[in-house]
Structure 1
Amino acid sequence: MDEILLKQAGQLNLRNCPIGGPFPPVILLTDDARLPDPLAAIAQLPRRSMVIFRHYDHANRTALAAKVCAESRRLGHKTLIANDLALALKLGADGVHLPEYRILQTPSIFGQIPSGLIVTSACHSMTTLRKICLLPRDYRPDGVLISPVFQTQSHPGAVHMPFERVQQVAHLAAQNAITPIGLGGIDRNTIKKLRGSVLASVAGIGFSVG
């Protein structure tokens, strides 16, 4: 993995991540199109990283998720399963990641997640974060993936958040004991622009190899 990106992510994590929190400096998101072989990417991560398994459209999602969990566990990483609490529990994953529409359409899902699991939620706006903060304290996710912080290949042409808005969303999250995580277009060059942010970790699809 790119050493410059890793160093910058480590500094953000050291400065902004709550002591004893579950989130490492870098978090890998798997993706059907952009990361067809997640196992190879996982092998490139620094030890004690985190993997969010998405691969929503894989023909044998359960089997691949089991392989990802096993490989991550072997390498000391934590694994979260995206939008499938039943699969996360079946595989003994470390947690679950929920897309943004869950807090907008079915916020009750947050109250159904057993204690002890790490929970993250996608967050694309201040409005979404405010809805998350209205959840009972015990139901709030441990972290939010704030995106897109930069232009990203996953959503070409999408308007990214201005740095000031990223800071506002991240500050509100931190004030509510929710770890703010940056996602979208983060590489060895763009991460330098986040030095003054309150983000505690960075997440991405394409930065794991290089």
Structure 2
Amino acid sequence: MEARYSGLVEHFQTLPELWLLSDERNDHALEDALVRLPRGSALVYRHYHLPPAERFARFMALKRLCERRDHVMILADSAQTAREWGGDGIYGAPRSLYPTRGDLLTIATVHNPREMALANRFRADAVMLSPAFPTRSHPGAGHLGRSRFRALAALSSAPVIALGGMTHARARSLHWARWAAIDGLS
């Protein structure tokens, strides 16, 4: 897995540690959040709530800010759309990432061992493993917790990004350098 990713390292230097996910809840705070993130962080642009033309326009506005801050911009959409829009990669279920040439980072969403096996099989560049902790996105839903998160992360062939109820404090308590949040970073 590292061999595939290493071809992209020349362009991206290294896989970011902090990942901000966008959605309707944090849209109003995205510009401020992106400026506060350390240079070279990442934005996963979802914005499923917007009609296509508005979604594209918002993507382009945020892309300009990401470029000024050296942030990686990942699109939750197809590889074709990511290329057309100028995204750095794609985000989604492991099956939706295949086949993708090595010109885009592929970030697989994983919640269980079956999805982890698929992410490994389809050679995702990174895995976003969730939910690590209780989250506002899915109130009352189960979460992995520290032990199950670490056990599932150990099955990954790619770098793992913790997601789900993540904050700076939870990342420290989990002893996990790469993490993502919606509310925790916005």
With the length of structure 2 as denominator, give the TM-score of the two structures.
0.85
- 1:206 is matched with 183
Aligned counterparts, 1:68-107, within 5 A: 68-98=62-92, 100=93, 103=94, 107=95
Q: Secondary structure at the match of 2:80?
A: helix
Identify the residue that residue 3 of structure 2 maps to in structure 1.
none
Is residue 117 from structure 1 mapped to residue 104 from structure 2 by the alignment? Answer: yes
Q: CA deviation at 1:70?
A: 1.5
Question: Is the CA contact 2:161–2:178 (under 8 Å) kept in the aligned structure 1?
Answer: yes
3-state SS of 2:102 partner: coil
| Cα shift readout 1:104-152 (whole Å, capped 9, x = no counterpart) | xxx3x4333221211101101112102222x2xxx41111110010111
Aligned equivalents of 2:75 and 2:185: distance in 1? 18
Q: CA deviation at 1:166?
A: 0.8
Listed as ranges, the matches of 1:119-198 within 5 Å are 119-133=106-120, 135=121, 139-173=122-156, 176=157, 178-195=158-175
- Once residues 55 and 39 of structure 2 are traced to their aligned partners in structure 1, the CA distance between those partners, rounded to angstroms, is 25
| Alpha-carbon contact 2:105-2:125 (below 8 Å) kept | yes
| Alpha-carbon shift at residue 200 of structure 1 (Å) | 4.4
Structure 2: unaligned runs, 5 residues or longer = 1-5
Q: Counterpart of 1:52?
A: 44
The count of residues paired between Structure 1 and Structure 2 equals: 174
Partner of 2:55: 61
Task: State whether structure 2 residue 41 is matched by structure 1 residue 41.
Answer: no
Distance in 2 between residues matched to 1:110 and 1:87, nearest whole Å: 12
* Cα distance change, pair 110–186 in 1 and its aligned pair in 2 (3 A): closer
Shift of 1:168: 1.3
Residue identity matched to 1:79: M
The structural deviation recorded for 1:37 is: 4.1
Q: Relative contact order: is structure 1 or structure 2 higher (C-alpha 8 Å, sep ≥ 6)?
A: 1
CA deviations 1:1-27 (Å, max 9, x no partner) are xxxxxxxxxxxxxxxxx9x57422211
- Code of the residue aligned with 2:88 in structure 1: it is D
Task: Say whether the 8 Å CA contact 1:110–1:140 is kept in structure 2.
Answer: no
